[in-house]
């Protein structure tokens, strides 16, 4: 298989300043006429061959400068034309079958409508083109189709004309013409045609221009678009206020589709969304769904500058737009709600998904050096670690200086296809930072481990803090150089419970020592506050210090972290056998005490309290162990939950009562109550199942919103009894036909703590509502299952077989979705021997499938290496 290397980048030989696209739209036979004006790139190699990428398409006709020609040939899937001049007009006609496009890349049909997904390499499935992000063109698009089937015709930019021309386009048709004034790469092209209704609004920009806003959905769904619209307007305002970025077209359109491979897509002026990130009302969407919609709507909007106005030179630079845009959406969501809660959630995702990626066979730097299939690199590393790397720049520079850097970046590179290096240089110049060594964060994979040693001299009152870093070896990178790690740090006086000011320590060598004075007693160390660097602090902290920080730290993240560490250190000890007998009792008692203090702390808001009482996840716990023992980790975590439920039963019952009395609203207080209400049930369930069932049933039956209903159903699902079956049936009946809610119904069962979750998942794959063609439905069942350690890691290996079978069946239909399921099987090297062999055997079985797609084959072979 061809391996594409970052170092092989060459500027394009030919540019395409303009492209006209003419679509005669039909669900099963769309004709595309593409007119490219091509020009030799004076900076490129001066060859005579124009290579136009294609994928699964054939040319019906090709003309050069108005003449039909035979100076073209197919080279694999690409169309190659020999040209003798410097400027030519090429016209190519293709015919597509969108209804047969199950890959959901290129032009495809979804529920009777037509839509596109071109990132990363979908445009070449529509027409032949130099399908690379550094070829920027002005697009003029004409769409024609049956007026009854496709009353709405949308493309990027501005609608410049519309009408009907039955002689040209056929009876019953209409057409629309869209021009996008902003040159863009092909991956940002989009069209939508279908029966859609719009929620319309407007936004007046910084400079007083009125922008028309519309969110298009299927008829009947428009009442559920209000939150997305409010999120969009808030994002537009925030980007002006915080980054000085104004919208640049007269229209901003969003379309929601139910068949979509990812969350959403930032096509210029025409964002296309998975319905999951648009539709919400209290009856069908949880508080988490509301937050996700706000974040994703903002993310796609922010791409208008970080991605569209300044795009990527090549796909190795993906983090240039994705890392930066994730940081921007995280900052936005923090500003819209509780900043500390948002930080905790973001770190939970990083540690639960990205840290395992960074320590596994698929580890790669945020700017990878090679790939076979780019869609495999839309990863937590490129997105979330990419955001953390830029966040560290904000820590080192401060927000004002960072803003000077981003202003310079946008000014220097507006209208260009840029690199990560361009971004770093602009921040360096604009913010006045020296990022020479910092560039290693772009080059090296792996999560740095920081060891901490504190030496205290009682006579002089000096404290010496010795910090050491190691960056673990990762595939292809056995040796690493030290990276600058900014650690926000405070030293607390034990007596007063206060510190004398926070400092940012930069650990920029393998070992560094920092000295502090004025400490009669050894202080308590609060380090990596706010999670200022994406590293693991490898040295255990004494439990008494963690208890101190959990009570006194004035950094909310550090306080949360102290609680988490207290639990992590205890559970890791239980699993590896070092915590037994009296130590086990003491450990539990300390955790119980800390929980009680959190439950009683009146100064804490409920949203934050809700975060404190979530135990570290099993994947994160597994990361702390050299050899993963999923059954032991699960048992230890469940036993601790039960112990807390028994010993703090009165508090959890009181909490459930208190929170159940708070009426529904979207206020932070009410949201906090809903979060805690279900958390209380989570602890009561293993401690007193009958009581938990009674309370969960009452919560389910009385719920006036999805957060409470889903929370109660989750708890019931994990238990056994008629209440579980009744609630599942009632939920299914109530929401029959509402795809997004039925997805929840699948997920709750596949992700459940119920010991029969494996059996239930198997049965659900045969449920009439299950549909392999819809990625949301596939993910709702199988991603939830693969993320459910006790079911997926069943000692029989049946869970592994089920995922491998899914990959094999799904791969020919939708390879990029299938490839994503390889990751959970890839963790075999860190697994205990029995399960490790079973996982590896499934990967080997997949590797032997001769017809495997490039996407899946790349992931399978990297996982086996
Ligand atoms: N930039 C978008 C990426 C995306 C995508 C990638 C591969 C296959 C399908 C896809 N749909 C969208 C989304 C984003 O990060 O904003
Ligand atoms: Zn993005």
Q: What is the pLDDT of residues 302-314, one digit of tens each?
A: 999 999 999 999 9
Expressed in angstroms and rounded, the spacing between residue 405 Cα and the centre of ligand 2 is: 21
Global pTM value: 0.99
Q: In this structure, is residue 561 part of a structural domain?
A: no
Beta partners for residue 216, in sequence order: 198, 255
**Among 195, 213, 247, which residue terminates a domain?**
195
Q: What is the pLDDT of residues 695-745, one digit of tens each?
A: 999 999 999 999 999 999 999 999 999 999 999 999 999 999 999 999 999
- Give Rg (Cα) of the chain: 28
Query: Atom 12 in ligand 1: which residue has the minimum CA distance?
Result: 265
Q: Any idea which ligand is nearest the CA of 263?
A: 1
User: Which residues contact residue 305 at a Cβ distance below 8 angstroms, ignoring those fewer than 6 apart?
Assistant: 239, 243, 245, 410
pLDDT at 644 over 90: yes
**Among 497, 522, 542, which residue terminates a domain?**
542
CA distance readout (Å), 170 to 26, 147, 176, 830, 862: 12, 11, 14, 62, 51
120 Cβ inside 6 Å of ligand 1: yes
User: Tokens 């290693």 appear where?
Assistant: 440
- Give me the mean pLDDT over the 790-817 stretch: 98
Ligand 1 pocket test: which of 264, 383, 817, 818 has the largest number of ligand atoms within 8 Å of its C-beta? 264
311 Cβ inside 6 Å of ligand 1: no
Q: Which helix (H) or strand (E) holds 512?
A: strand 511-516
Q: Which helix (H) or strand (E) holds 450?
A: strand 449-457
Q: What is the pLDDT of residues 43-67, one digit of tens each?
A: 999 999 999 999 999 999 999 999 9
544 is catalytic: no
- Here the CATH number for the domain that contains residue 536 is 2.60.40.1840
What pLDDT is attached to residue 1? 81
- Here the CATH number for the domain that contains residue 172 is 2.60.40.1730
- Give me the mean pLDDT over the 603-623 stretch: 96
What pLDDT is attached to residue 472? 98
Beta partners for residue 38, in sequence order: 88
262 Cβ inside 6 Å of ligand 1: yes
State the pLDDT confidence band at 411, using cuts at 50, 70 and 90.
very high
Q: In this structure, is residue 371 part of a structural domain?
A: no
502: containing domain: 449-475+482-542
Distance CA 48, CA 655 (A): 75
What pLDDT is attached to residue 220? 98
Expressed in angstroms and rounded, the spacing between residue 328 Cα and the centre of ligand 2 is: 10
Expressed in angstroms and rounded, the spacing between residue 191 Cα and the centre of ligand 2 is: 19
Q: In the chain, how many H helices and how many E strands?
A: 32, 31
Ligand 1 pocket test: which of 103, 116, 265 has the largest number of ligand atoms within 8 Å of its C-beta? 265
For the chain, the domain total comes to: 2
What pLDDT is attached to residue 447? 98
Expressed in angstroms and rounded, the spacing between residue 266 Cα and the centre of ligand 1 is: 8
Expressed in angstroms and rounded, the spacing between residue 305 Cα and the centre of ligand 2 is: 11
Q: Which of 121, 294, 300, 428 does the annotation list as catalytic?
A: 300
Q: In this structure, is residue 810 part of a structural domain?
A: no
- Give me the mean pLDDT over the 646-672 stretch: 98
- Give me the mean pLDDT over the 315-328 stretch: 99
**Among 140, 165, 195, which residue terminates a domain?**
195
378 Cβ inside 6 Å of ligand 1: yes
Ligand 1 pocket test: which of 256, 315, 332, 378 has the largest number of ligand atoms within 8 Å of its C-beta? 378
Q: In this structure, is residue 131 part of a structural domain?
A: yes
Q: In this structure, is residue 12 part of a structural domain?
A: yes
Q: Do β-strands 197-204 and 191-194 pair in parallel, antiparallel, or remain unpaired?
A: unpaired
Q: Any idea which ligand is nearest the CA of 377?
A: 1
Q: In this structure, is residue 471 part of a structural domain?
A: yes
* ipTM passes above 0.85: yes
State the pLDDT confidence band at 77, using cuts at 50, 70 and 90.
very high
Q: In this structure, is residue 115 part of a structural domain?
A: yes
What pLDDT is attached to residue 330? 99
Q: In this structure, is residue 101 part of a structural domain?
A: yes
Q: What is the pLDDT of residues 566-601, one digit of tens each?
A: 999 999 999 999 999 999 999 999 999 999 999 999
Average pLDDT in the chain: 98
Percent of the chain with pLDDT over 70: 100
């Amino acid at each position: 298989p061809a391996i594409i290397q970052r170092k092989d980048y060459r500027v394009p030989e030919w540019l395409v300043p303009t492209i006209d696209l003419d679509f005669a739209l039909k669900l099963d036979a769309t004709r595309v006429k593409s007119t490219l004006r091509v020009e030799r790139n004076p900076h490129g190699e001066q060859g005579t061959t124009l290579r136009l990428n294609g994928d699964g398409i054939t040319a019906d006709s090709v003309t050069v400068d108005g003449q039909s020609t035979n100076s073209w040939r197919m080279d694999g899937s690409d169309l190659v034309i020999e040209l003798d001049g410097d400027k030519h007009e090429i016209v190519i006609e293709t015919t597509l079958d969108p209804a047969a496009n199950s890959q959901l890349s290129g032009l495809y049909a979804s529920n009777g409508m037509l839509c596109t997904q071109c990132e990363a390499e979908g445009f070449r499935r529509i027409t032949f083109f130099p399908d690379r992000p550094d070829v920027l063109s002005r697009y003029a698009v004409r769409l024609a189709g049956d007026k009854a089937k496709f009353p709405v015709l949308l493309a990027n930019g501005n609608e410049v004309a519309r009408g009907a021309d039955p002689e040209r386009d056929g009876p019953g048709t209409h057409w629309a013409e869209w021009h996008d004034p902003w040159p863009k790469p092909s991956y940002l092209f989009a069209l939508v045609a279908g029966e859609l209704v719009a929620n319309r609004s407007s936004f007046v920009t910084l400079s007083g221009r009125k922008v028309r806003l519309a969110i298009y959905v299927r008829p009947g769904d428009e009442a559920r678009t209000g939150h997305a619209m409010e999120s969009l307007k808030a994002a537009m305002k925030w980007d002006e206020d915080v980054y000085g970025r104004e919208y640049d077209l007269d229209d901003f359109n969003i379309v929601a589709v139910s068949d979509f491979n990812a969350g959403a897509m930032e096509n210029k002026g025409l964002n296309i969304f998975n319905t999951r990130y648009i539709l919400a009302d209290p009856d069908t969407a949880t508080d988490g769904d509301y937050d996700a919609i706000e974040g994703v709507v903002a993310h796609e909007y922010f791409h208008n500058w970080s991605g569209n106005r300044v795009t990527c030179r090549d796909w190795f630079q993906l983090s240039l737009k994705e890392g930066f845009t994730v940081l921007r959406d995280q900052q936005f969501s923090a500003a819209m709600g509780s900043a500390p809660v948002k930080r905790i959630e973001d770190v939970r995702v990083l540690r639960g998904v990205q840290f395992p990626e960074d320590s596994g066979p698929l580890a790669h730097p945020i700017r990878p050096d090679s790939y076979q299939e780019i869609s495999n690199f839309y990863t937590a590393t490129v997105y979330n670690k990419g955001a953390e790397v830029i966040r560290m720049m904000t820590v080192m520079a401060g927000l004002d200086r960072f803003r000077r850097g981003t202003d310079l970046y946008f000014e220097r590179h507006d209208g260009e296809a840029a690199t990560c290096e361009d971004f770093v240089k602009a921040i360096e110049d604009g913010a006045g930072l020296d990022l020479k060594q910092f560039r290693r964060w772009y080059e090296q994979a792996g999560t740095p481990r920081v060891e901490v040693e504190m030496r205290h001299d009682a006579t002089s009152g000096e404290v010496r803090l010795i910090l050491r870093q190691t960056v673990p070896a990762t595939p292809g990178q056995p040796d690493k150089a030290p990276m600058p790690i900014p650690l926000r740090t405070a030293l607390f006086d034990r007596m007063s419970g206060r510190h004398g000011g926070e400092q940012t320590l930069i650990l920029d060598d393998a070992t560094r020592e920092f000295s502090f004075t004025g400490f009669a007693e050894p202080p308590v160390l609060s380090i990596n506050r706010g999670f200022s660097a994406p590293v693991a602090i490898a040295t255990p902290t004494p439990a008494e210090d963690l208890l101190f920080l959990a009570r006194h730290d004035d950094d909310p993240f550090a306080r949360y972290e102290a609680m988490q560490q207290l639990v992590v250190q205890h559970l890791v000890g239980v699993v590896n056998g070092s915590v037994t007998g009296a130590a086990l009792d003491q450990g539990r008692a300390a955790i119980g005490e800390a929980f009680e203090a959190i439950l009683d702390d009146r100064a804490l808001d409920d949203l934050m309290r809700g975060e404190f009482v979530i135990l570290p996840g099993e994947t994160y716990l597994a990361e702390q162990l050299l050899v993963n023992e999923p059954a032991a980790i699960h048992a230890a975590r469940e036993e601790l939950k039960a112990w807390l439920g028994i010993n703090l039963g009165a508090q959890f019952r009181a909490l459930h009562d208190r929170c159940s009395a708070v009426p529904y609203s979207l206020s932070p207080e009410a949201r906090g109550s809903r979060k805690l209400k279900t958390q209380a049930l989570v602890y009561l369930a293993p401690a007193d199942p009958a009581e938990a069932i009674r309370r969960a049933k009452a919560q389910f039956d009385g719920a006036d919103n999805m957060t409470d209903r889903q929370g109660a159903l989750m708890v019931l699902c994990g238990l056994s009894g008629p209440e579980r079956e009744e609630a599942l049936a009632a939920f299914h009946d109530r929401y029959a036909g509402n795809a997004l809610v039925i997805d929840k119904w699948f997920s709750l069962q596949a992700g459940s703590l119920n010991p029969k979750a494996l059996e239930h998942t198997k049965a659900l794959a045969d449920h009439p509502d299950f549909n392999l063609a819809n990625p949301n439905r596939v993910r709702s069942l199988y991603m939830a299952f693969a993320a459910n350690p006790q079911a997926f890691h069943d000692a029989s290996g049946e869970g592994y077989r089920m995922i491998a079978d899914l990959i094999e069946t799904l791969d020919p239909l939708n390879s990029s979705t299938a490839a994503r399921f390889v990751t959970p099987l890839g963790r075999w090297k860190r697994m205990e021997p029995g399960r490790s062999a079973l996982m590896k055997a499934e990967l080997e079985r997949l590797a032997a499938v001769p017809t495997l797609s490039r996407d899946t084959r790349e992931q399978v072979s990297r996982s086996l290496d």
